[in-house]
């Protein structure tokens, strides 16, 4: 019997030591892992089905400090995924319905470079909430285990012994398209096991191994923590295997193609701050960015495996006192504030674009309440307008406002709200003034109920 994988022979992890790890849950119970690639995308195994994703999870008995709950917007399973053992292309990407708010204990994992050379015997690590031994109990606190990479030729040979044992002892050569790697000691005792499928096998990379990359996706194995060095001398039911992981390096083109298909900027993204403030690509120079009441920022630059540009140069400086943003500015707001159009209560200028990106604390929504409002009125607000959006990319429109009447209060769908003020080349009015407040969102992961099919992933050869 071959089962999806869980941690065996490991130890309890330190809180926050695996900030990229997520828990995939059905009916309130963990059954698979996954890893954060970006604020919207999770990498997992193709054989993992879910409708609920928990990030920032550590102790399943309590609501952890940075824990966030998401529904699944879409799932992309590799087109060549084959559930017949040995499983090939066991990888999937999950798109979340909202954006993850990054923090000290919620961070994405790096992908390896296409030519990343991580040698056999390199000590890697996997983690999860799966069983601690074969047919053992499920832990409630995250556990981790260190596993050494197995030489590729030895990995293929072990797979031959397993496949042969199920085909009347005939050794069958693995398919040329094998997309797996192996990790774990020949003597057994340390392994990944049922419940950890989909989680990452992370390995040290770079010239001095100073950063972690997701080299593999936990896929399957024969037993849990069994020895496998002398498989050929054992009866089929007693044979074991190292942990079998999907080799992420081989599937990088597929991963990056799927991420590009779901991105507004398809080739180059720059994310500002742990909460996404802007996504920039192309050759048009972005306007200035004002980080209101914020003392630091993080820029995440990423490029794909094809075309390259000349890059970018950024200059930054501190602004003392109260600063009134002008047209062309992108403003980050992470605290309760009063905002207004340029020059208010005097007339705003022509051809003006000004954006505010508002991030409420975890578990809160944004409330926008107007105290003054006077924009040029037109059908469908074609000339001057204030657009209220639910995401940074501008795909979720909440309201489109213009005219001389004060609109009712507007609530965001989640913890992010984006405001975009636009004026055309003629006729200006007084503009608007509004206040931003944050309201606690009373939703807990255990309040969400789903009626779904239940799957168990056991494969008998």
- Per-residue confidence (pLDDT) for residue 2, from 0 to 100: 41
In this structure, is residue 138 part of a structural domain? yes
- Under 8 Å between Cβ of 297 and 322: no
227 labelled catalytic: no
- Per-residue confidence (pLDDT) for residue 116, from 0 to 100: 82
33 has which bridge partners?
A: 23
Percentage of the residues of the chain whose pLDDT score is greater than 90: 38
443 pLDDT exceeds 90? no
Task: Tell me, yes or no, whether 258 and 403 share the same domain.
Answer: no
- Per-residue confidence (pLDDT) for residue 306, from 0 to 100: 61
In this structure, is residue 305 part of a structural domain? no
In this structure, is residue 286 part of a structural domain? no
In this structure, is residue 314 part of a structural domain? no
pLDDT tier, 242 (very low <50, low <70, confident <90, very high otherwise): confident
Choose between 35 and 323: higher pLDDT.
Answer: 35
Task: Tell me, yes or no, whether 79 and 187 share the same domain.
Answer: yes
In this structure, is residue 311 part of a structural domain? no
β 385-389/397-401 pair status: antiparallel
pLDDT tier, 6 (very low <50, low <70, confident <90, very high otherwise): very low
Cα–Cα distance, 325 to 386 (Å, whole number): 16
Which among 47, 78, 340, 429 is annotated as catalytic? Answer: 47
Task: Tell me, yes or no, whether 423 and 341 share the same domain.
Answer: yes
- Per-residue confidence (pLDDT) for residue 186, from 0 to 100: 82
Break the chain down into helix, strand, coil percent, rounded to 5.
Answer: 10, 35, 55
Three-class DSSP category at 135: coil
- Per-residue confidence (pLDDT) for residue 316, from 0 to 100: 78
Mean pLDDT across 408-422: 92
Structure confidence by residue, pLDDT tens digits, 123-162 = 999 998 877 666 656 778 898 889 999 998 888 888 887 7
Which among 90, 191, 247, 384 is annotated as catalytic? Answer: 90
Closest by Cα among 97, 108, 109 to 53: 97
Cα–Cα distance, 239 to 373 (Å, whole number): 74
Choose between 122 and 10: higher pLDDT.
Answer: 122
pLDDT tier, 46 (very low <50, low <70, confident <90, very high otherwise): very high
Q: Residue 411: which CATH number? A: 2.60.120.290
Task: Tell me, yes or no, whether 246 and 334 share the same domain.
Answer: no
- Under 8 Å between Cβ of 216 and 200: yes
Task: Please identify, among 262, 279, 309, the residue that sits at the C-terminal boundary of a domain.
Answer: 262
90 labelled catalytic: yes
DSSP string, 67-130: -EEEEEEEEEE-TT-B-SSSPBS--EEEEESS----BTTB-PPBPPPTT----TT-EEEEEESS
pLDDT tier, 393 (very low <50, low <70, confident <90, very high otherwise): confident
- Per-residue confidence (pLDDT) for residue 420, from 0 to 100: 94
Mean pLDDT across 283-302: 70
233 labelled catalytic: no
77 pLDDT exceeds 70? yes
In this structure, is residue 233 part of a structural domain? yes
Domain count, the chain: 2
Task: Please identify, among 220, 235, 262, the residue that sits at the C-terminal boundary of a domain.
Answer: 262
Task: Tell me, yes or no, whether 64 and 205 share the same domain.
Answer: yes
Which among 197, 227, 263, 341 is annotated as catalytic? Answer: 197
Per-residue tokens: 437: 């407040």
Choose between 190 and 368: higher pLDDT.
Answer: 368
Task: Tell me, yes or no, whether 247 and 336 share the same domain.
Answer: no
- Per-residue confidence (pLDDT) for residue 330, from 0 to 100: 78
Task: Tell me, yes or no, whether 395 and 258 share the same domain.
Answer: no
- Per-residue confidence (pLDDT) for residue 75, from 0 to 100: 93
Task: Tell me, yes or no, whether 202 and 99 share the same domain.
Answer: yes
Task: Tell me, yes or no, whether 219 and 354 share the same domain.
Answer: no
- Per-residue confidence (pLDDT) for residue 401, from 0 to 100: 96
Cα within 13 Å of Cα(147), Cβ side: 36
196 phi-psi bin (left φ>0, alpha ψ -120 to 50, beta other): alpha
Cα–Cα distance, 436 to 285 (Å, whole number): 29
- Per-residue confidence (pLDDT) for residue 446, from 0 to 100: 37
Closest by Cα among 54, 100, 113 to 392: 100
Task: Tell me, yes or no, whether 68 and 197 share the same domain.
Answer: yes
Task: Please identify, among 216, 241, 262, the residue that sits at the C-terminal boundary of a domain.
Answer: 262
Mean pLDDT computed over every residue of the chain: 80
426 pLDDT exceeds 70? yes
Choose between 312 and 171: higher pLDDT.
Answer: 312
In this structure, is residue 320 part of a structural domain? no
Task: Tell me, yes or no, whether 245 and 383 share the same domain.
Answer: no
In this structure, is residue 360 part of a structural domain? yes
352 pLDDT exceeds 90? yes
4 pLDDT exceeds 70? no
Mean pLDDT across 215-236: 79
pLDDT tier, 293 (very low <50, low <70, confident <90, very high otherwise): low
- Per-residue confidence (pLDDT) for residue 375, from 0 to 100: 97
Task: Tell me, yes or no, whether 210 and 73 share the same domain.
Answer: yes
DSSP string, 194-253: TT-TT-EEEEEESTT--EEEEEEEEEEEESSS---TTGGGS-GGG----EEEEEGGGGHH
- Per-residue confidence (pLDDT) for residue 274, from 0 to 100: 40
Dihedral over alpha carbons 93, 106, 20, 96 (to 10 degrees): -10
Domain span holding position 115:
11-160+178-262
β 289-292/330-333 pair status: parallel
Peptide bond into 86 cis (omega under 30): yes
331 pLDDT exceeds 50? yes
Closest by Cα among 460, 402, 49, 35 to 236: 460
Mean pLDDT across 259-279: 54
Q: Residue 258: which CATH number? A: 2.40.10.10
Question: What is the b/e burial string over 174-194, where b = at least 16 CB atoms within 10 angstroms of the residue's CB?
Answer: beeebbbbbbbbeebebbbbb
């Amino acid at each position: 019997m071959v089962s999806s994988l869980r941690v065996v022979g490991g130890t309890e992890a330190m809180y926050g030591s695996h900030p990229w790890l997520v828990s995939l849950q059905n009916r309130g119970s963990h059954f698979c892992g996954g890893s954060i690639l970006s604020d919207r995308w999770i990498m997992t195994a193709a054989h993992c089905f879910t409708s609920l994703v928990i990030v920032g999870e550590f102790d399943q008995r309590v609501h952890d400090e940075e824990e966030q709950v998401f529904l699944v917007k879409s799932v992309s399973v590799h087109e060549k995924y084959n559930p017949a053992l040995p499983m090939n292309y066991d990888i999937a990407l999950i798109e979340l319905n909202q954006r993850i708010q990054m923090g000290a204990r919620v961070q994405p994992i790096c992908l390896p470079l296409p030519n990343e050379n991580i040698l056999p015997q390199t000590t890697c690590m996997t983690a999860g909430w799966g069983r601690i031994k074969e047919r053992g109990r499920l832990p409630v606190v995250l556990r981790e285990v260190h596993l050494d990479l197995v030489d590729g030729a030895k990995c293929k040979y072990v797979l031959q012994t397993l496949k042969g044992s199920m085909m009347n002892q005939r050794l069958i050569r693995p398919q040329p398209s094998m997309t797996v790697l192996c990790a774990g000691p020949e003597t057994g005792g340390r392994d990944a096991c049922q419940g950890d499928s989909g989680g990452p096998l992370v390995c040290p990379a770079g010239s001095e191994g100073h950063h972690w990359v997701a080299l593999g996706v936990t896929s399957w194995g024969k037993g849990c923590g069994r020895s496998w060095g002398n498989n050929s001398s054992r009866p089929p039911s007693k044979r074991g295997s190292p942990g079998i992981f999907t080799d992420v390096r081989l599937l990088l083109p597929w991963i990056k193609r799927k991420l590009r298909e779901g991105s507004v900027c398809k080739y180059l993204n720059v994310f500002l701050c742990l909460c996404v403030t802007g996504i920039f690509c192309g050759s048009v120079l972005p306007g200035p960015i004002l980080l209101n009441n914020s003392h630091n920022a993080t820029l995440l630059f990423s490029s794909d495996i094809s075309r390259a540009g000349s890059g970018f140069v950024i200059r930054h400086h501190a602004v003392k006192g109260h600063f009134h943003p002008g047209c062309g500015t992108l403003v980050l707001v992470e605290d309760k504030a009063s905002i207004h159009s340029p020059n208010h209560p005097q007339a705003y200028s022509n051809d003006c674009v000004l954006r505010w990106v508002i991030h409420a604390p975890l578990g809160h929504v944004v409330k926008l309440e107007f105290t003054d409002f006077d924009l040029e009125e037109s059908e469908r607000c074609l000339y001057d307008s204030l657009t209220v959006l639910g995401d940074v990319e501008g795909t979720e429109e909440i309201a489109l406002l213009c005219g001389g009447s004060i609109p009712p209060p507007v609530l965001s769908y989640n913890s992010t709200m984006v405001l975009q003020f636009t004026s055309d080349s003629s006729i200006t009015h007084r503009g608007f003034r509004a206040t931003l407040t944050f309201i606690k969102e009373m939703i807990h992961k255990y309040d969400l109920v789903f009626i779904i099919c239940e799957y168990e992933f056991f494969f008998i050869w």
